[in-house]
Amino acid sequence: MGMEMEMEPEILAFCCNWCSYAGADLAGVSRFHYPPNVRIVRVMCSGRVDPAFVLKAFELGFDGVMITGCHIGDCHYVSGNEKAEKRFGMLRELIETLGIDPKRLRLEWVSASEGERFSRVVEEFVEEVKAIGKSEIRVDGKVKETASIESLVYETEVYECSECGKCTSICQVSKFKDFSPRIVVGNAVFGFEEDVKNSVWDCLLCEKCRLVCPSNVNYTEFVRRVRKTVEKMHCAHGDLFFSSARIMANSKTNGRLRWFEGLDVATKGDLLYFTGCFPLYRFLFKDAGLENEFYSIGESVSKIPLDAVFIMNKAGIKPVILDNEKCCGHDLFVVGDEENFEKLARANINAIKESEAERVVCSCAECYRMLKKEYSELFNFDLEVLHISELFKELIDEGKLDFGVVGLDVKGKGKGKDKSKNKSKQDKTNDEEEKTKITYHDSCRLRNLSIFDAPRYVLSNAGFEVVEMKHSREMSSCCAGNAWVNCGMVSKQIQLNLIGEAKETQAEFLVTSCPKCQTHLKCAVFGSDVDAEIKDFVTAIADVLR
C-alpha cells in the first residue's frame, strides 16, 4: 500500500432539538455531503449541554466536540443559546488549563433550514481537528475491581470491630439517616455485600469515627476501597470535577503561572507553593449565566492562591509555582480511583523534584493531606510539606510577616505588655474594640493531621479574636461534601448545623482553610434563609495586609 492512512477524527456534536438537529436532518434528506466522523447527540436546547457532558466526551477520547443551537434570538426557550454561548467561553478556558487544545471545542448556530450550513460547519471542523491531530486523552472511566469485599475485610482488618457503637454515635450522618459505620463493617463481615455497597456513598469520609475507635478499625480505608468495587459512583455536579481530574491525569497540563500575573513567582527555588486547582473552580461555577451568589463562590475560592502568593511576597518570599502542576488527586483517591490518582501523584512529584525545591507549602487542606500523607506513604515523597498556616507562623516568629496591628502581641505574651505600658488608656480601649471576632472551622483533612494551633496563632496575630464553636479542633464537624460525593438533604442539614454553631459564637465571619468547606457551607447559606459570611484563612489574612 505504501500510503499513509489519514487520521480520522471522532467528533461529538450536541444538536438542539428545534434548530440544529432539524438542520442536520435537512442536510441528510437534501443529500448534502458531510464527513462521517461526527456522532450526533440530540438535546432539547444548546443550553442543556452541561460542561460535564463536554468534559466527559473528551475523557472518552473524542477528538472534537461541537455544540450547535438556534441562532441568537431564535431560541425556543428564549435564552438557552445565550447561556450556551457564555458557557462555551468558559469551557474553552477550562479545557485549555486541563491540557486540551481549545480549538477542539466549537460552537455553531445552525437553524432548521440551514442543512447546507450544517454540512459546511462539520466539514470545516473535521479539517481543523485533523490539523491538530488525534487526542491523546482516553480515560478508561471504569475503575477496575481488584478485590472482593470479603478480601477487603481481611486486608483492612475491619473485623477488629468490637461493636461498641462509638463510631455510630460520633457519626454526623447517623444523626439524620439510618447509617452506621459499625453496621457497614458488620454487614461486610457477615457477607451482606449489597447492603455494604449501598451504604458506602453515604459516608462522608471525615474520619471522625476512626479517630475515636477503641479498636483502631480503619473504617475509612475500608469504605474507600469498597467504593472502588462499586460500579456506579454517586456524585453531585455531574461528574464534572472527577472528569477534570481524570483528564489532567492523562494530559499535559500547563498554564498555572499565568494565574499569578503581577505577582512575584519563580520556576526554581527553595520553597514551592502547591497552588491547588481553585482557579479552575471559577470556570466551573461560572455556569449558565448563574451570575448570582453561587457564582461568587467560584470567585472567592479561586482568589485563594493569589492571596497566598501576595502574602508570601509581602514577607519577601518568591515562591516556586509549577506551570504544569496537576490536581493533587484527593477526590479520585477517596472514591477509590487509585490508577488515575497515581498518575497525578507521580506527575506532581516529578515536577516538584525538577523544581529543586526543598519545602512544599499548600494552602488547600486536601492538597496538604495528600502531599503530606498519601504521597509520602504510597510514593515515597520525602520533601518537607507545610500547611500555609505553619509557614505564616514561622514568618511571624521570624519577624518577616508584620501585620502592623498596634499593641499586638507578636512574640509571646511579654512583649505586648511592654508596648501597652507606653500607650495612653484611650489607645488601649480602642485596640480592644477594633478586634474582629471570628471563628475558625477545622476542616477534616487538617484535623486528622492535627493542624490546630498554627492557624489560630496566625489569625490572632493578624488582629482577630478567635472564638471557638462547640465542635472545634479534634471534634470539628465535617462540611459534609467530601469529594463532591454526598450532596443531599443530609449534608445540607449538617452544613446548616455547622453554620448555626458559628452563629452562636457571635463571630463576624467563619474562617476555614479548606476551599471545599467554604464552597459547601456557602452553598448551604445561599440555599437557605440564614445569613453568614465565610472566608478562607488565606483571604482573611490577605485582607488584613491590604
Partner 1 sequence: MKNVLVIGGGIAGIQASLDLADRGYTVYLVEKKPSIGGRMAQLDKTFPTNDCSICILAPKMLECFDHPNINVITNAEVVGLEGEAGNFVVRVLKKPRYVDEQKCTGCGKCTEVCRRKGRLPDEFNVGLSKRGAIYIPFVQAVPRKAIIDEKACLMLTKGKCGKQSKCVEACDLNAIDFEQKPEEISLNVAAIVVATGFDLFDPSGLKEYGYGRYKNVITAMEYERLICAGGPTGGHLDRPSDGKTPKNVVFIQCVGLRDERYYEYCCSVCCLNSTKSAILAKEHYPDIETYILYSEFRAVGKRSYEYIERGEKEYGITYIRGRPGEIIEKEDGNLIVWYEDMAERKVKSLEAELVVLCTAPVPSEGSKELARVLGIEVDKHGFFKCKDPVLAPIETTRDGIFICGYAQGPRDIPESVAQASATAAKVAEIVERLEVMA
| 171 part of the interface to partner 1, by CB under 8 A | yes
CB of residue 498 to partner 1, shortest distance in Å: 13
Query: Per rule CB under 8 A, is residue 170 in the interface with partner 1?
Result: yes
Spell out the residues 6+ positions from residue 461 whose beta carbon is closer than 8 angstroms to its own: 396, 403, 405, 408, 409, 410
Give the C-alpha distances (Å, rounded to integers) separating 319 from 306, 322, 346, 365, 395. Answer: 12, 10, 21, 19, 14
Give all strands of the β-sheet with 105-109 in edge-to-edge order: 38-43, 11-16, 64-69, 105-109
The one-letter amino acid code at 270 reads: D
> Does 30 interact with partner 1 (rule: CB under 8 A)?
no
Please report, for residues 28, 44, 109, the alpha-carbon distance to residue 22 in angstroms, rounded to integers and kept in the order given: 10, 12, 12
Cβ-contact 532, 503 below 8 angstroms: yes
Q: How far is the CB of 171 from partner 1 (least distance, A)?
A: 7
List 164, 296, 350, 354, residue binding partner 1 (CB under 8 A): 164
Residue type at position 260? F
Nearest to 366 by CA among 344, 389, 339, 334: 334
Residue closer to partner 1 by CB (options 140, 163) is 163
Q: Which of 61, 470, 508, 526 binds partner 1 (CB under 8 A)?
A: 470
Among 473, 493, 526, 544, binds partner 1 (CB under 8 A): 473
Size of the site for partner 1 (CB under 8 A): 25
Smallest CA-to-CA distance from 298 within 519, 149, 129, 11 is with 519
Question: Which range binds partner 1 by CB under 8 A, 40-48, 53-61, 213-221, 355-363?
Answer: 213-221
CB of 417 to partner 1, least distance (A): 23
CA distances from 199 to 133, 193, 208 (A): 44, 10, 17
Would you count residue 189 as binding partner 1 (CB under 8 A)?
A: no
Min dist. Cβ of residue 183 to partner 1 (A):
7
User: Which range, of 19-27, 35-43, 171-179, 523-531, touches partner 1 by CB under 8 A?
Assistant: 171-179
Residue 378 C-beta: closest distance to partner 1, Å:
24
Nearer to partner 1, 98 or 496 (CB): 496
**β 64-69/105-109 pair status:** parallel
Looking at residue 389, what DSSP letter applies? H
Q: DSSP E strands: which ranges in 401-480? A: 436-441, 464-467
Smallest gap from residue 167 Cβ to partner 1 (A): 6
CB 372 within 8 A of CB 449: yes
- The CA distance from 516 to 204, in Å, is 13
Q: Does 182 contact partner 1 by CB under 8 A?
A: yes
Single residue of 38, 84, 167, 499 touching partner 1 by CB under 8 A? 167
Q: For partner 1, which residue of 183, 185, 196, 271 counts as binding (CB under 8 A)? A: 183
- What's the number of CA atoms in the CB half-sphere (13 Å) around residue 176? 16
Q: Shortest Cβ distance from residue 180 to partner 1 (Å)? A: 7
- Spatial distance between the Cα atoms of 484 and 504, rounded to a whole number of angstroms: 27
Q: Is 289 helix (H, G, I), strand (E, B) or coil?
A: coil
Minimum distance, C-beta of residue 185 to partner 1, in the bound complex (Å):
13
Per-residue mark of binding to partner 1, 474-493 (x: CB under 8 A): xx------------------
Determine the Cα–Cα distance for residues 268 and 257; give it in Å rounded to an integer. 12
Spatial separation of the C-alpha atoms in residues 494 and 505, rounded to whole Å = 17
Minimum distance from residue 193 beta carbon to partner 1 (Å): 20
**Residue 437: beta bridge partners?**
465
In whole angstroms, how large is the CA radius of gyration of the chain?
A: 26
Of 95, 110, 149, 209, the residue at the interface with partner 1 (CB under 8 A) is 209
**Rule CB under 8 A: is residue 450 a binding residue for partner 1?**
no
Cell of 538: 488565606
- Distance in angstroms (rounded) separating the CA atoms of residues 81 and 399: 55
| Per-residue mark of binding to partner 1, 120-159 (x: CB under 8 A) | ----------------------------------------
Stretch that binds partner 1, among 32-40, 214-222, 425-433, 453-461 (CB under 8 A): 214-222
Rule CB under 8 A: choose which of 156, 174, 300, 461 binds partner 1: 174
Exactly one of 169, 296, 430, 450 binds partner 1 (CB under 8 A); that residue is 169
Segment near partner 1 (CB under 8 A), from 58-66, 70-78, 164-172, 250-258? 164-172
The alpha carbon of 258 is separated from its chain's Cα centroid by a whole number of angstroms, namely 19
Nearer to partner 1, 373 or 471 (CB): 471
Query: Which of these, 166, 229, 220, lies nearest to 197 by C-alpha position?
Result: 229
The three cell numbers of residue 134 are: 488525534
Compute the least distance from the CB of residue 495 to partner 1, in Å.
Answer: 18
Contact 498, 479 (CB under 8 A): yes
Judged by beta carbon, residue 147 or residue 475, the one nearer partner 1 is 475
- Whichever of 127 and 163 has its CB closer to partner 1, that residue is 163
DSSP state of 543: H
Asked if 301 contacts 536 with a C-beta cutoff of 8 angstroms, the reply is yes
**Please, which residue, 72 or 164, has the CB nearer to partner 1?**
164
Over the window 321 to 360, marking each residue x when it contacts partner 1 by CB under 8 A and - when it does not, the resulting string is ----------------------------------------
CA 306 vs. chain centroid, Å, equals 16
Rule CB under 8 A: choose which of 79, 215, 376, 505 binds partner 1: 215
Span from 88-96, 206-214, 250-258, 399-407 in contact with partner 1 (CB under 8 A): 206-214
Cell of 249: 491525569
Residue from the set 48, 103, 120, 166 that interacts with partner 1 by CB under 8 A: 166
Binding site for partner 1 (CB under 8 A): 162-171, 174-175, 180, 182-183, 209, 212, 214-216, 470-471, 473-475
